[in-house]
Amino acid sequence: MKKDQILRCLREEDEKQLESLWQSADKVRRETVGDAVHLRGLIEFSNYCVRQCGYCGLRAERTDLPRYRMTQDEILDCARRAREFGYGTVVLQSGEDWGIKADWLAETIRAIKQETSLAVTLSVGERNEDEYRLWKQAGADRYLLRFETSNPELYARIHPNRGKTISDRLAILKLLRTLGYEIGSGVMIGIPGQTFDDLANDIALFAELDLDMIGVGPFIPHPETPLANEPLTQDQVPNTEAMTYKVVALTRLVCPQANIPSTTALATLNLAQGRELGLSRGANVIMPNLTPVQYRASYEIYPSKACIKETAEQCRHCLKKRIESIGRTVGIGPGPRQSARKP
């Protein structure tokens, strides 16, 4: 798709035209990645963070937030549950926690691989090349690092640099690719100051980066952050459920082979059917939460997060029913990207 076509779709309000977009995305999804919905068990193993991101409830300045780090045994227990439930992947996610030592995480990855043979995805923020290499050698398969927006001025507003360290997530994604990871990234929709042109550039960049997994979700700031009450600007992209579906659908059309999750944020906006609508409009992955219930409320990136009181077992049964209710099947195995990468 050309940029002007993407822009037209992002601004589209006609229900018939939108229905055509949903159907096109669903058709491409069916033809390229099939009807299986792959479940990737999420383990939010630490909520410590050194960053001061302007929207995130884990930001370092939040001294009122109870902090936690799960033990290796707790993480392995979650991985065992994932294997028991038939998931093909676990996602180890944390704030940018420099208290998590590289060797400890490498040991944890090796233990998961040796005991369960699950695919391991990491989402632990910006670290150095030696650490990325160590974790890949330990058995990590994928790395998720959202670039959030391709507009550098907008990025600097929401993600202040850490001291003198300059943040360049696009360079990190390219590095991760050279180290052998499958790479995942994505953006937030409706960041204060984000224009439709910005968002169209983001979607075009997905294809340029040739991403294996692409996660998009609405901008939902935590109320105790600087961007919680930021005024809207001219040509502002709304952070709505409808706009999120548009981006999911366009992402499928632009990146047919990518794995695209229907996110918890969609369920937060629409608990009754947000995930199902995401799956019907281009998505093919869901990330059920394996984090022990006693920690979930403290992993408070944004408020009123869906399903934080559900046990891993309850989440598994609920998602299976939701997937089957729309005529889809639960995927088997790790669910890698469906075709060879472009040369």
The pLDDT tens digits for 85-114 are 999 999 999 999 999 999 999 999 999 999
Find the mean pLDDT for residues 36-55. 96
Helix pair angle (15-32, 241-254), 10° resolution: 40
52-79 pLDDT tens trace: 999 999 999 999 999 999 999 999 999 9
φ and ψ at 143, to 5 degrees? -140, 130
Rounded Cα–Cα distance for residues 243 and 310 (Å): 28
- What mean pLDDT do residues 177-185 have? 97
342 has pLDDT over 60: no
Average pLDDT, the chain: 93
Provide the pLDDT for residue 181: 97
CA dist 249 and 246 (Å) reads 5
CB 216 within 8 Å of CB 189: yes
336 has pLDDT over 90: no
Q: In one letter, which amino acid is 131?
A: E
The pLDDT assigned to 343 comes to 39
Percent of the chain exceeding pLDDT 90 equals 84
Predicted confidence at residue 1, as pLDDT, reads: 87
Q: What is the Cα 301 distance to its own chain's centre? A: 13
Could you report the per-residue pLDDT of 252-298, keeping only the tens digit for each?
A: 999 999 999 999 899 889 988 999 999 999 999 999 999 999 999 99
CA 206/CA 230 separation, integer angstroms: 27
Confidence at residue 340, expressed as pLDDT on a 0 to 100 scale: 42
Q: Which domains does the chain have, with CATH numbers?
A: 3-330 (3.20.20.70)
pLDDT band at 303 (very low <50, low <70, confident <90, very high): confident
Distance CA 242, CA 203 (A): 16
Out of 121-135, 251-265, 306-320, least confident range? 306-320
- The number of angstroms, rounded, from the C-alpha of 61 to the middle of its chain's C-alpha atoms is 24
Report H helices in the chain.
3-11, 15-32, 72-85, 102-116, 129-138, 152-158, 169-178, 196-209, 241-254, 264-269, 274-280, 293-296, 312-325
CA distance 332 to 341: 22
338: pLDDT confidence band, cut at 50, 70 and 90? low
Question: What Å distances lie between residue 33 and 104, 285, 293, CA to CA?
Answer: 35, 10, 32
